[in-house]
């Protein structure tokens, strides 16, 4: 058996003169959470749309579950679920009715469908809201329904296009927990697009950084960050409850000290080089009877990685793109033809 869920070969999509996805070669392993991280317009959604068979490549190929996305698109659709950027749900229908409607499009037998809907609603803690109209829900509640909608057909491969965009912190963390659980318990392969560094870092086994349609780096979050850290540098944030100017001066004088910056009354941000840097910092403070309330390593963020590779900042998304509407099927609602 192929251990890859997805393999792309020079996958390319052009819109007239614009190359939205530019000769992308990636392998997504079975059971992996793979992140596509990039700024607005990088080509993330276009990649997902090709891998979902919603649009064809202009050049190159890809297989999903071993099936060709163009020649065997029907087979591909049987394996996948998609949570697209835009929610496609009917405000005037209840949570249950919405799910049932989409389940019917998948030709899932009624009894199985009922069982699955109830099970999934419980998993996202929405069982109390089964009979309420979607139009009365908060964005976070709607997104939970939107996510489980993509799971009605029990997909092997799940695409999540910016699943937490525009959600409140509580819903964001619940959706992230759910994604992790789904991956751990069902071994679902997940491809997630995001421009939130934290999200990619928290959830993904590997991250492909995409900029202007090109994959500019691909590795585990830890390795990507290592790339930026460069050399053997330790960065820590230490909280010394009885911090004195003498302690700060001693830390600055350490032979391997690079920088010491004080924040507030008791916090120091310290960078030092060498294998013993961490011990040296702790020893220097303790020798002066400093009481260390906490000490934590400050890793470079994926944001630093993006800056390092592309030479530009990746600004956070501010526009809310999440929306629902009543009526009409967008491309995201395209059903797979099958019976289960
Ligand atoms: N149907 C289309 N016709 C023409 N241009 C398009 C079309 N779809 C996408 N594009 C362009 O392709 C580029 C990549 O768009 P895409 O939506 O894939 O980016 P993205 O990484 O998903 O961005 P975002 O973070 O804003 O969702 C953009 O420049 C976009 O304007
Ligand atoms: Mg997008």
What confidence score (pLDDT) does residue 317 get?
A: 39
- Of 16, 35, 43, the residue with max ligand 1 atoms within 8 A of its CB, to mutate for a pocket test, comes to 43
- Of 17, 44, 48, the residue with max ligand 1 atoms within 8 A of its CB, to mutate for a pocket test, comes to 44
- Look over the chain and give the mean of its residue pLDDT values, rounded to a whole number: 88
pLDDT digits (tens, 9 = 90+) for 178-198: 999 999 999 999 999 998 888
Q: What is the CATH number of domain 231-297?
A: 3.30.70.100
Q: What is the pTM of this model?
A: 0.78
Q: Decide whether any atom of ligand 1 lies within 6 Å of the 40 Cβ.
A: yes
Percent of the chain with pLDDT over 70: 91
Q: Cα(42) to centroid of ligand 1, in Å?
A: 7
Domain boundaries, the chain: 4-219, 231-297
Q: What is the CATH number of domain 4-219?
A: 3.40.50.300
Percent of the chain with pLDDT over 90: 67
> Which residues, 6 or more positions from 76, have their beta carbon under 8 angstroms from its beta carbon?
52, 53, 64, 65, 67, 68, 69
């Amino acid at each position: 058996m192929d251990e890859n869920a997805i393999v792309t070969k020079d996958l390319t999509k052009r819109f007239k003169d614009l190359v939205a996805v530019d000769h992308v070669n990636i392998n997504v392993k079975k059971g992996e959470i793979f992140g596509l991280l990039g700024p607005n317009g990088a080509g993330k959604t276009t990649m997902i749309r090709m891998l979902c068979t919603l649009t064809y490549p202009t050049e190159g190929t890809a297989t999903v579950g071993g099936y060709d996305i163009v020649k065997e698109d029907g087979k591909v659709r049987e394996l996948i679920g998609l949570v697209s950027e835009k929610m496609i749900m009917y405000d005037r229908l209840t949570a249950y009715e919405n799910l049932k409607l989409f389940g019917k499009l998948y030709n899932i037998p009624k009894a199985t469908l009922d069982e699955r809907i109830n099970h999934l609603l419980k998993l996202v803690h929405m069982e109390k809201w089964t009979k309420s109209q979607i139009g009365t829900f908060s964005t976070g509640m709607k997104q939970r329904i939107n996510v489980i909608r993509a799971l009605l057909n029990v997909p092997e491969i799940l695409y999540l296009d910016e699943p937490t965009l525009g959600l409140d912190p509580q819903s964001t963390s619940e959706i992230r927990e759910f994604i992790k659980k789904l991956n751990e318990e069902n071994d679902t392969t997940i491809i997630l697009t995001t421009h939130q560094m934290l999200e990619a870092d928290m959830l993904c086994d590997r991250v492909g950084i995409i900029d202007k349609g090109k994959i500019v780096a691909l590795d585990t979050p830890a390795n990507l960050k290592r790339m930026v850290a460069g050399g053997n540098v330790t960065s820590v944030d230490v909280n010394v409850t009885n911090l004195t100017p003498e302690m700060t001066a001693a830390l600055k004088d350490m032979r391997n000290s690079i920088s010491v910056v004080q924040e507030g009354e008791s916090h120091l941000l310290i960078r030092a080089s060498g294998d013993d840097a961490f011990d040296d910092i702790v020893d220097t403070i303790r020798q002066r009877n400093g009481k260390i309330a906490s000490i934590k390593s400050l890793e470079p963020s994926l944001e630093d990685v993006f800056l390092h590779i592309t030479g530009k900042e990746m600004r956070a998304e501010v526009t809310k793109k999440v929306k629902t509407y009543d009526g009409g099927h967008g491309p995201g609602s395209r059903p797979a033809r099958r019976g289960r």
